Amino acid sequence: MRFFLTLYLGLMLSAAAEHGFAERINGTLRKDYVKQSAAIRNLNLKPYWAEDGSSFIYRKEIKGGQRYIIVDAKTGEQKEAFDHKIMEEFFASQDKKMELHHMVFGEGYFEFRIKGDRETYQWDGEQVIKVDSPRKKQQEEQERMHRGPVSPDGKWRVDFREHNVVLVELEKGEKILTSDGKPDHYYAQVKWAPDSSRFAVMKVKAGQRRMVTVVESSPKDQLQPKVHSWRYDKPGDVIDTRAPWVFYVDGRDPLAPDLSLIENPFSLGKVWWRSDSKRLSYDYVERGYGKYYVLEADTEARSHRIAVREESDTYIFVGGNSYRYDVNDGEEYIWASERDGWNHLYLIDGKTGAVKNQITKGEWVVFDVERVDEDNRRILFIAGGMEKGKDPYYRKYYWINFDGTGLVELTPGDGTHELFLSPDDQVYLDKYSRYDMAPVYELRNLKSGSLIKEILRVDLEELKATGWQAPIAFTAKDRDGKFDVWGYVLLPKDFEPKKKYPVIENIYAGPHDQHVYKPFTVWRGAITDLAHRGFIMVRIDGKGTGKRCKEFSHFCYKNIVDAGFPDRIKWMKEAAKKYPQMDLERVGIYGGSAGGQNSTGALLFHGDFYKVAVSDCGCHDNRMDKIWWNEQWMDWPIGPHYAEQSNVTNASKLKGRLLLTVGEMDRNVDPASTYQLASALLKAGKEYELIVVPSADHGAGEQLYPRCRRVQFFEKWLGAPAPMSN
């Protein structure tokens, strides 16, 4: 049995035989990064709109400098926004670099700040003037007027004293409204009705309130170690629960919640008062995420009801796929649901809870809602998969009416899109790109989607001249031959078709999203690092990841351990038929957080295919990680499947070479999760390496030393490119 422990102290490297290897690795990669990044410009154009929407300014990068361009929103005509020589001379005289950070238009001027400067300036057409920001004054006034727990009419205040509710009439006196508050069952949070006649508070029943405690071995401010603790609920814990009570300023008995409607709460959403000050609305999410309701209390009739009901035999991805918008003060709801197998929008009757009509429909997915136009009863939404044969993860924007008619596509460009809407809702700047296509910026009409003018198209020729290669999109069927699985192959720098290359997968199989980054980018972090060191890189969205139909995504339910591995392995085998340079006898894998769990799982459960893994800050046992993420997919109460799928309990199955990294101050994933895996591997007599990064938080594996050790680890155990055999 062999076990290796490497301690990383800041950016100080060991003086052992490996001295200097990180500088050598990082130095080479840094040169490539700088060279390629300098070969392309205008990847992140951002419009600064005039307040009336009539024009916008953007920063245009040019060789050796920059120009600020003003664009007429009606015609798309462009010209320089000001005299750059005067502007540059002004800031040079103050020893400042002219790079605008914040910009607001006014009548005949624009107001701006530069990066790293708190001062505000104006260009009045002839010169730069230092001014007081009207927006800063407005913000200060808003902060001064913030009432906190004081009623909207300014007559009442709610205090919490010894865990109870005290109502204070500001000009007369106070009245204690409750006497049952305790340290573990207390009142908190105030939400006043608009007319100040009543208010809601939450009665909180405290749970066990687990604390995670760690020792920081090497604090910067003292010699001796420090002990740190923080609140960290884990799956299966007894958690805090809340229930809304309503109190009346006229002395009526308080209205208690109907606990039968919220029997097993994981969370209760923000309380909303209706404009009539009688009805109170809030969200209820059942523990285990099988139910998501909108609840409404009629505080005048003293009744409670479920206004909207969503239930699932697996889970409801609250905060991800879910969406709620109250139309006309709750007369209707726009509601997202996977009830037909795809995430779509529905129009719900606010009085009965019945579906009035399905707004969007088809074998594609609504990702999000950008805007609801109540006056015209239409919705601006983002979706993927509507165009058959195209990448279903491309973000595309559409208008649709509340009744499901009038679908208008706003983003016809072949790629994934981001919109910048004008303040007057007349036009928008559409940015779109792909792996192999740098951003295109188009000015379009928001009502029809029609093109006004192309503003800028980024050229790739100078970048390609450096040897840069784009990832190559690749698609294969899943394990059952039913669904398309999408991903990409990134060939090494200086790729030679007559050589065989080791293959490394960068994995993140978290169910909350898809994880293959679609927009254009020059450098894909560690993926590009490793490609430039002679590996063929792949990244794949297998079954169990998000942004697809329910059958595809909910495959993860009580099944995190699967991580889509059969789909990933089949995908790589299909890709190797097209790219025979992929050596599938030498496959590595790495990832962080949930990807750290996945990458270790590759060696535990699929060690015949994957040979080497590097896992950073992994949640190796779902019972050890944060409650909200893990109970969402693995359900509650805790069943035997939690232990059955744990990397820790399966440590004896390890095959291949494993490097673990972890930050000792990780607040996202309890670092004990990695230590417990290390302990189990020791007991099982398995060989592995461990890097503990003192004082580091989540993602410690991306610091210089462990990042370079990752490269070295793969080079050592997967080897270098080799000639293809005849």
244 upstream amide cis, omega within 30 of 0: no
Spell out the alpha helix ranges (H) of 499-554.
Answer: 526-531, 550-553
Query: Is 416 contained in some domain?
Result: no
Query: Is 130 contained in some domain?
Result: yes
Q: 515 pLDDT band (50/70/90 cuts)?
A: very high
Torsion of CA 226, 227, 233, 236, to 10 degrees: 130
Strand 164-169 vs strand 156-161: parallel, antiparallel, or unpaired? antiparallel
- Do 639 and 498 fall within a single domain? yes
Which of 61-70, 137-146, 215-224, 306-315 is predicted with the least confidence, judged by mean pLDDT?
Answer: 137-146
Q: What is the pLDDT of residue 82?
A: 81
| C-alpha–C-alpha distance, residues 711 and 698, integer Å | 20
- Do 545 and 562 fall within a single domain? yes
Summarize the confidence of residues 382-408 as an average pLDDT: 97
Provide the CATH number for the domain around residue 262. Answer: 2.140.10.30
- Do 103 and 175 fall within a single domain? no
Query: Is 560 contained in some domain?
Result: yes
pLDDT tens for each residue of 340-357 = 999 999 999 999 999 999
- Of 276, 311, 346, the residue at which a domain comes to its end is 311
Q: Would the pLDDT of 135 be above 60?
A: no
Query: Is 361 contained in some domain?
Result: no
In 392-450, where do the E strands start and end? Answer: 396-401, 408-409, 416-421, 427-434, 437-445
Q: Would the pLDDT of 118 be above 80?
A: no
Query: Is 9 contained in some domain?
Result: no
Provide the CATH number for the domain around residue 659. Answer: 3.40.50.1820
- Do 536 and 631 fall within a single domain? yes
Torsion of CA 520, 523, 526, 531, to 10 degrees: 100
pLDDT tens for each residue of 550-579 = 999 999 999 999 999 999 999 999 999 999
Q: Would the pLDDT of 597 be above 60?
A: yes
Number of domains in the chain: 3
Mean pLDDT for the chain overall:
92
Q: 89 pLDDT band (50/70/90 cuts)?
A: confident
The DSSP line for 605-626 is H-TTT--EEEEES---STTTS-
- Of 80, 113, 142, the residue at which a domain comes to its end is 142
- Do 232 and 300 fall within a single domain? yes
The total of other beta-carbon atoms located within 10 Å of residue 726's CB is 3
Q: 360 pLDDT band (50/70/90 cuts)?
A: very high
- Do 126 and 200 fall within a single domain? no
Tokens standing for 73? 């929103």
Counting residues of the chain whose pLDDT is more than 70, the rounded percentage is 93
- Do 155 and 129 fall within a single domain? no
- Do 63 and 136 fall within a single domain? yes
Q: What is the pLDDT of residue 5?
A: 46
Query: Is 394 contained in some domain?
Result: no
| C-alpha–C-alpha distance, residues 545 and 554, integer Å | 8
- Do 153 and 254 fall within a single domain? yes
- Of 116, 142, 168, the residue at which a domain comes to its end is 142
**φ, ψ of residue 567 in degrees (nearest 5):** -70, -40
Helices 21-37, 704-718: axis angle to 10 degrees equals 100
Summarize the confidence of residues 25-52 as an average pLDDT: 90
Summarize the confidence of residues 126-154 as an average pLDDT: 65
Question: Which domain range does residue 112 map to?
Answer: 48-142
Q: What is the pLDDT of residue 644?
A: 98
Summarize the confidence of residues 627-646 as an average pLDDT: 98
Q: Would the pLDDT of 540 be above 60?
A: yes
- Do 172 and 105 fall within a single domain? no
Summarize the confidence of residues 380-405 as an average pLDDT: 97
- Do 548 and 674 fall within a single domain? yes
Measured CA angle at 455 (ends 453, 461), to 5 deg: 125
Helix (H, G, I), strand (E, B) or coil at 222: coil
Query: Is 367 contained in some domain?
Result: no
Summarize the confidence of residues 238-255 as an average pLDDT: 97
- Do 632 and 660 fall within a single domain? yes
Query: Is 125 contained in some domain?
Result: yes
